[in-house]
Amino acid sequence: MSRVAYVNGRYLRHAEAQVHIEDRGYQFSDGVYEVILIKNGHMIDEEQHLKRLQKSLSSLEIVLPMKQTAMRHIMKEVIKRNKFQNGIIYIQITRGVAAREHSFPKYSNPTLVMTARRIAAKNYNEIESGVKVITIDDIRWKRCDIKSISLLPNVLGKQTARNQGAYEAWMVDAAGYVTEGTSTNAWIVSPDGRLITAELGRNILSGITRNRFIKIIHELNYKLEERQFSVEEAKNAREAFFTSSTSFLTPVTEIDGAVIGNGRAGSLSIELLKAYDNYMNQAY
């Protein structure tokens, strides 16, 4: 079955979808994006994703190309035309097409692209095995709270992880604190059971799945600390994991070669993941 994409008012076969070579997204990474999980045909935390999209656009002074009601209709239509129940929808908005000049063009229409695809479900045996993480220097710009399509440092970090047999790389700032993963938010569980993740600021993205897990943690009456943590603290944690729209909650069982806990997913990580599964199944 052929995939379907949306580009500037048209639904096209995915293989035929394209944008102009002078689109500022292509020339300057002058744009933003969102990735929304689809579960049982419904978008998970759709409202929160659209709010973050608007925040990112406003930070770059890019105008939303249409009203949100129209955006929602197109998103649902893209999911419908791709004929699947579980996967993701990708939304990208750039400043649009203009002659190559660093400053903003006087006139340009934003480019809107949407694609969707299935993602494979993980079983709990895979999840309990966990994944390996390495740490790398955080070399990104100083506005990581904007979900910009400028992701080259993240791409290099992810490839470094894969080259070293790891699944993800956690980025570390000049002071030695973990900021976030190349495409995820980083978490640890202290030896006495406190859940710890970096506080929001310009150096990390406000992950929608991160925020959902914070709500779940409060509902389950666990202790949460939003603060910086060092690589050494992470290596000595009882448990570690990362979260994102596509990875949900993925246990980390090794950091830079140091085994976390007993080398398997921790009980708290599994409990939180099951609570998130329950949320997704009951939310709609």
Could you read off the pLDDT of 132-174 as tens digits, one per residue?
999 999 999 999 999 999 999 999 999 999 999 999 999 999 9
Place of tokens 């904007």: 146
Cα gap 23→8, rounded to integer Å = 12
Tokens of 134: 């390495």
Tokens of 71: 């955006």
- Provide the pLDDT confidence category of residue 126 given band limits of 50, 70 and 90: confident
Cα gap 214→226, rounded to integer Å = 10
Which listed residue (147, 158, 235, 274) is catalytic? 147
- Provide the pLDDT confidence category of residue 254 given band limits of 50, 70 and 90: very high
**142 given a catalytic annotation:** no
Q: What pTM value is reported for the model?
A: 0.95
CATH architecture for residues 4-118: 2-Layer Sandwich (3.30)
**Mean pLDDT calculated for residue range 29-45:** 96
Place of tokens 């580009």: 7
- Provide the pLDDT confidence category of residue 284 given band limits of 50, 70 and 90: low
Domain 124-282 has CATH 1.20.140.10: no
Closest by CA position to 56, among listed 106, 9, 107, 110: 110
Most distant CA pair in the chain: distance in Å? 59
DSSP 40: T
Map out the domains of the chain as residue ranges. Answer: 4-118, 124-282
- Provide the pLDDT confidence category of residue 120 given band limits of 50, 70 and 90: confident
Tokens of 196: 């710890």
Q: What is the pLDDT of residue 121?
A: 79
Cα gap 64→191, rounded to integer Å = 46
Q: With pLDDT > 90 as the criterion, what percentage of the chain qualifies?
A: 94
